[in-house]
Amino acid sequence: MIRTLLLALALAAQPGFAQTRVVGDLPHKPDRPLEETPGLETEYGVVRTSEGLRLRTIVTRPAGTSGPLPAIFLTQWVSCGSIAFRPGRDSEVRQLALRSGLVMIRVERAGDGDSEGPGCAKLDFDTEVRHYREAFDQVSRHPWVDGRRIVIFGSSLGSTTAPLVAQGKPVAGILVQGGGALTYLERMIAFDRLQLERGGTTPPERIHAEMLKRIAFQQLYLLGRRTPQQIAAERPDLADVWSSLQGTAPDAHYGRPFAWHWQAAEKDFLSAWLRVPAPAIVVYAGFDNFELEHGHRLIAELRNRQRPGSTEYLKIPNAGHDLEIYPDPFSAYRWEGGSKRYELFVDPAIAWLRRVTGLGDQPPGSRSR
């Protein structure tokens, strides 16, 4: 017995050892394997929302560390689904957790993973942001976490929720990739523009007319809070627009309810950014499938005008929205022919993270493959 215990302790002290445990009163669903990453200690925990839902947290720290560490708090992309690391699959988020020397905090949205709730597909924008803010307050008191040195990392759509989550919180910084500070209406119109230009199904001479229809539709949909069915009844000339857009279903858009998009369209993302005094870094993928560079540059330019030197800007040439490197923007739009170059994002992100959290410029461990 003693020999077995000593062996387990010795293994746990090794850098490559992966240790995972579940704590708290939220059961883990048996059909989902527990996440294990060599080099990381992983804890499945729980936070409670103000309406009483239990949400799953997945918190990692470098194996063999102890005491409070600076942390990364993830606000995620629009699509529903668990944010647990997949077995045998690498990602930028996993690389940040492995190589930064920081704690990584992920919160499963309502209905995703082990989390309770009606389901991410029914979760509205305001509730999602509130859940993140409530979770932030609770995990900032986690014994692994230095609550005064938490950086919010917004990925894709999470780039727009990140500054909203940060309001009034003692964040050490904000890192975003894949979303700018334009209005949500402009953002969705940009989606339409890129779809028509790069999708390969619309003749170039039809783009002008199609954009005018889509702009009229998006105004009624997002600002007028009308459903696609109501728009079709009021404007028969726009009845075919909904089916031509990306990610549409009879009662949802990108897997989220209409109310989610209506609430997002009300938000003043730029003002939220300007109210956060913490340093920031904005990362733009040069061949982004959805987002325009202007929205990203806007954050850096206006924040630096307000607080000189507060915001860094990183553009990764030839990268798609997924940060893979593509031969041209049309290939990136189709997700074809991409190659993984994690270091183009991960290395500068880690250097910035360690600098703003006071850990120094040089990341621990070896470079990403």
Helix intervals (H) in the chain: 2-12, 92-99, 125-139, 158-165, 184-198, 207-218, 228-234, 241-244, 258-266, 269-274, 293-306, 329-334, 343-356
Residue 5 has pLDDT above 60, yes or no: no
Do strands 103-107 and 69-75 pair parallel, antiparallel, or not at all (unpaired)? parallel
Burial letters for 153-164: b for 16+ Cβ neighbours within 10 Å, e otherwise? bbbbbbbbbbbb
Position 294 confidence tier, pLDDT thresholds 50, 70, 90: very high
Position 3 confidence tier, pLDDT thresholds 50, 70, 90: very low
Quick: pLDDT tens for 164-216: 999 999 999 999 999 999 999 999 999 999 999 999 899 999 999 999 999 99
CB 352 within 8 A of CB 175: yes
Rounded percentage of the chain residues whose pLDDT exceeds 70: 93
pLDDT given for residue 1 in this prediction: 40
* Cα–Cα nearest to 78, from 267, 260, 295, 201: 260
pLDDT given for residue 118 in this prediction: 87
CB 157 within 8 A of CB 136: no
Residue 77 has pLDDT above 60, yes or no: yes
pLDDT given for residue 63 in this prediction: 94
CB 303 within 8 A of CB 287: no
Residue 48 has pLDDT above 70, yes or no: yes
pLDDT given for residue 364 in this prediction: 57
* Residues making up the chain, counted from first to last: 369
Quick: pLDDT tens for 317-333: 999 999 999 999 999 99
Residue 10 has pLDDT above 70, yes or no: no
Supply the mean pLDDT for the chain.
92
pLDDT given for residue 368 in this prediction: 38
- Please identify which residue in the block is written with the tokens 């200690």: 41
CB 323 within 8 A of CB 344: yes
Secondary structure (3-state) at 240: coil
Do strands 54-62 and 40-48 pair parallel, antiparallel, or not at all (unpaired)? antiparallel
CB 85 within 8 A of CB 94: yes
pLDDT given for residue 35 in this prediction: 92
Domains of the chain: which residue ranges? 14-182+268-356, 184-265
CATH fourth-level superfamily of 14-182+268-356 = Alpha/Beta hydrolase fold, catalytic domain (3.40.50.1820)
The span from the CA of 141 to the CA of 256, in Å, is: 31
Quick: pLDDT tens for 92-134: 999 999 999 999 999 999 999 999 998 889 999 999 999 999 9
pLDDT given for residue 282 in this prediction: 98
Whole-model pTM?
0.91
DSSP string computed for 260-298: HHHHHHH--HHHHHHT--S-EEEEEETT-SS--HHHHHH
The span from the CA of 194 to the CA of 361, in Å, is: 37
